[in-house]
Chains A and B, each alone.
Chain A
Amino acid sequence: MTDLNRRRLLAATAALPLGLGLMPRKVLGSVPQKTLVLVELSGGNDGLNTVVPYGDAAYYRARPKLAIKRDAVLPLDERLGLHPALEPLMEPWRGRELAVVLGLGYPAPNRSHFRSIEIWNTASQSNEVRQHGWLHQAVSEAGGLLPPQGRLGIVLGGAPGPLAGDALTAVIMKDSKQLARAAAMAGNGTLQTANPALDHILSVRRQTQEAARQIEARLASAPALGASFPKTPLGRQLKQAAALIAGGVPASVIKVQHAGYDTHAGQAGRHPRLLGELASSLAAFRRALRETGAWDRCLVMTYAEFGRRVGENASAGTDHGTAAPHFLLGGRLRGGLHGHQPSLIDLDGGDLRHSLDFRQVYAAIAAGWLGLPAGLESLGRPDPLDLFA
């Protein structure tokens, strides 16, 4: 990798405090780290035009302008199919590396972007406010069960969200120069103080510097990526994520963001563009990691605050809704359809009734991927979905 590319990649960092002491240099990354890549579809993706219920006449009745024509859909089975713009995902689908989880939502759905993403981020009930992200809660609840080398998280896009809290050291890499700044941060790292506020600041500084140096060192020796990524914000974020994983940066979570899904008007132009960008970025990500042999230790999950209403609106768009399907992509998944498609007839005030609680997916990932215990209280002890091969 050229120095220039590396510099671009090295963007910025910022970490959340760990509170668990320093990660010992030699422990960090001695075992290949499994990584969860979270893809936030900001704005609330229209699930019905993503995984299209093309076998259901009610879908065509509800969406005279926006429905995807039967013959354009990429069939997954005899009733459901992907939007044509998602064609790049068909190869992993056929390879059983794509899981499509249907009808995800939660009881008493909230239709505010802000509040609903907070519910998804914190795995709370609809009427409950929690301060920290679900990954923080799960890792905290499990105590020391996550090995220390896995306690690094990297945020490439959007807010820390699911990582918010101090159980994971979350490094934010967004604008340039900051990682270098962090690695070079001056300071008296060993100073002891009885002032808890100062002690906190010094420990954040130590951890940030340590993590930044680790990342810099790993990236310096990272293999070059052959796959070409779309030159869009999501493409760039996933390229960074691929370089980090291929380079052996031992992050257990990397978060990226794909913005623009709040399609209240003129959806027919914008939504296919978004889906196309999502699918081609994910396909490039998969290709890059397969080439570098890291694909089997990677799991991708999409999520969003909500889906959209069943009926289209007068501006040829869709308004805030409830349940939606989401994608999981990875080399060690049980690919295929999971859960069942919510009814288009039995609606709740024009909205889908969710058929699967999103916390069941979180619980599956916590236990089946991150190696945390099953039945975590913080995730509401849901039945985990059977996702892994």
Chain B
Amino acid sequence: MNSGAKHDSKFLAALLLAVFWLPSTAAALSEAEARHLLVRSGFSADVAEIETLAPLNRKTAIEKILRTAGTEAVTDPPAWVEGWVPPRMKALSAEERRALRNQNKERGLTLKAWWMEEMTNTPTPLTEVMTLFWHNHFTSSLRKVKAPVLLYRQNRLLRRHALGNFGDLLHAIARDPAMLVYLDGARSRKGAANENFPRELFELFTLGEGHYREADVKEAARAFTGRSVERKTGAFAFRRQWHDAGEKTVLGHRGRLEGDDVIRILLDHPRTASFIVEKLWRGFISETPDEDEVARLAQVFRETGYEIRPLLAALLASDAFWAPENRGRLIKSPIDFVVGTVRLFDLPVDRYEDLARLSRRLGQDLFDPPNVKGWPGGTDWITAASLLDRQALAERITGGSRQAEAQAIAIQAGRKLKGSARRAVRFDAWLAELPDRWQQAEAVSLLLLAVPAVDVEILDRRASGAQVRQLLGDPAYQLK
């Protein structure tokens, strides 16, 4: 299905299109702008990254970030992802089932830790930002799917297409075993078509509510019958004898429609591009998509045949992305908060499981979104519980000796350690490593915060360790 050549030419055309529309801002970025681009497209921005990007103009800076984004994780996956054989549940004794449940639980945590490690160490954070974006769009959970290997395979699929072609991604996800289990497609058969997957395909993956009717869901369900999972390998299987090959009508199109036909109909529907653009807008710019701009960007998306990279290029180049009023207008997700803090201060991580637990405690449990709608995000991230937890975390995990930092992460994550972590209060060491001019209070504030601090007064002098700590506790540190 994936034709590289086709996409390359589409990509080129799209890039030209995007470039043509870019405002002719040849000027170099300000340091605040460089930081803004880095934090929104990644998790954090350190001095070196800012200084590399700042001399570039918007277009070049955006191109640089998009060009380097990858398709594979750099962290080695857990060994058990190879050679896995799906268990035959019916053949297992109660004891064996319990052992399997425990194994799944353990492996699930290892899988979360693996992704945390990847996000923390990736040289191209945009790859992970987009993989997470699709994980929150095409949700699946360990809780329902059970087998961690299937979620790992889905995660690879999402990363492979993360900045590729949305049409290819949609076709692939409709054959993905984890998705087939998560939304009950695997057991959907002629005469008993399951509507779960097609319903979410319409409502959450492409059109959104109000753009289809109940009858479309029922008919589409018939088209997807027969898509299942190979029992011996856990791979995709098409069971012809389960498939309903009869005539169906979906969104006004009539014929002996197959699943792929339904997806093509959805990709032809103008609403799909707008729906995805709106969601990306909420992820990268603000909670309030601009109608005209969404229409313009959706046009770019459709004209490139749903290439994601040029769409992102246009989105990041939009006036709205750079508008001062949209700086610090988004609330950091738990992943942004945890990964961003660890990356920025280069904190030692003893076990990445601890980072996964921390993120869960703050409301974002990787591979286990709350339901098919994913994490609601936005203001929902901040409750009194999570705000207090975030402040306590920022206070504890930064500063002090590296050993104390690793211990503080573990304790905050709820892991018991022998002895207690020394209270970490000194940021002087971190500050001292910064280039001289970045040690000024105003520069440190720019480095840590997207908008001016609420509680902390920034004076025109060198920053102190205590001040860094105050800045991390400031409400502005919750924004990106």
Chain A residues in the interface with B (C-beta under 8 A): 12-17, 112, 114-115, 118, 129, 131, 169-172, 178, 181-182, 185-188, 191, 194-198, 200-202, 204-205, 207-208, 211, 264-265, 313-315
Contacts and interface: CB of A to CB of B under 8 A. Distances in A.
Given A13-B385, A172-B384, A205-B387, 6 more contacts: A14-B388, A15-B383, A129-B371, A181-B391, A197-B330, A197-B378
Nearest to A191: B454
Interface stretch (B245-253, B335-343, B472-480): B472-480
A111 B17 CA distance: 51
A187 to B, nearest CB: 6
A112 B144 contact: yes
Given A195-B328, A205-B475, A15 B385 contact: yes
Contacts of B373: 129, 131
Contact of A14 (B331, B387, B479): B387
A313 B94 contact: yes
B454 A197 contact: no
B383 A16 contact: yes
Given A112-B144, A188-B454, A265-B94, A201 B478 contact: yes
Among the interface residues A114, A181, A313, which one has the most CB atoms of the partner chain B within 10 A? Answer: A114
A181 B392 contact: yes
Given A187-B475, A198-B475, A202-B454, A13 B328 contact: no
B2 interface: no
23 contacts: A12-B388, A13-B385, A14-B383, A14-B385, A14-B387, A14-B389, A15-B383, A17-B379, A170-B383, A182-B384, A185-B391, A187-B475, A195-B325, A196-B329, A197-B287, A201-B479, A204-B382, A205-B387, A208-B384, A208-B387, A265-B98, A313-B94, A315-B94
A12 B388 CA distance: 9
Contacts of A169: 384
Contacts of B379: 17, 196-197, 200
Contacts of A15: 383-385
Contacts of B473: 186
B143 interface: yes
Contacts of A187: 454-455, 475
Nearest to A179: B388
Main secondary structure of the interface of B (DSSP, over half): helix
Contacts of A185: 388, 391
Interface residues of B, number: 35
A156 to B, nearest CB: 13
A112 B143 contact: yes
A358 B460 CA distance: 62
A118 B371 contact: yes
Interface string B139-171: 000011000000000000000000000000000
Contact of A13 (B98, B287, B382, B388): B388
A197 B378 CA distance: 8
B479 A198 contact: yes
A118 to B, nearest CB: 7
Interface string B380-404: 0011111111011000000000000
B387 A197 contact: no
Contacts of B382: 17, 200-201, 204
A234 to B, nearest CB: 20
A186 B455 contact: yes
Interface string B451-480: 100110000000000000000010110110
Contacts of A171: 384
B376 interface: yes
A186 B287 CA distance: 28
A7 B53 CA distance: 51
B328 A198 contact: yes
B108 to A, nearest CB: 13
Given A196-B287, A198-B479, A205-B475, A114 B384 contact: no
Interface string B387-425: 111011000000000000000000000000000000000
A244 to B, nearest CB: 16
Contacts of A265: 94, 98
A201 B385 contact: no
A182 B387 CA distance: 10
Nearest to A178: B388
A186 B475 CA distance: 10
Interface in B306-364: 325, 328-331
A23 to B, nearest CB: 14
B388 A181 contact: yes
Contacts of A200: 331, 379, 382
Contacts of B378: 197
A115 B182 CA distance: 12
B148 to A, nearest CB: 16
A72 to B, nearest CB: 27
A357 B373 CA distance: 26
Contacts of B391: 181, 185
B22 interface: no
A184 to B, nearest CB: 11
Interface-central residue, B325, B376, B475, by most chain A CB under 10 Å: B475
Q: Which of A112, A171, A172 neighbours the largest number of chain B CB atoms within 10 Å of its CB?
A: A172
B475 A201 contact: yes
Contacts of B32: none
B28 interface: no
A219 B392 CA distance: 24
B372 interface: yes
B28 to A, nearest CB: 27
Nearest to B385: A14
A133 to B, nearest CB: 12
A90 to B, nearest CB: 35
Contacts of B385: 13-15, 172
Nearest to A315: B94
B138 to A, nearest CB: 15
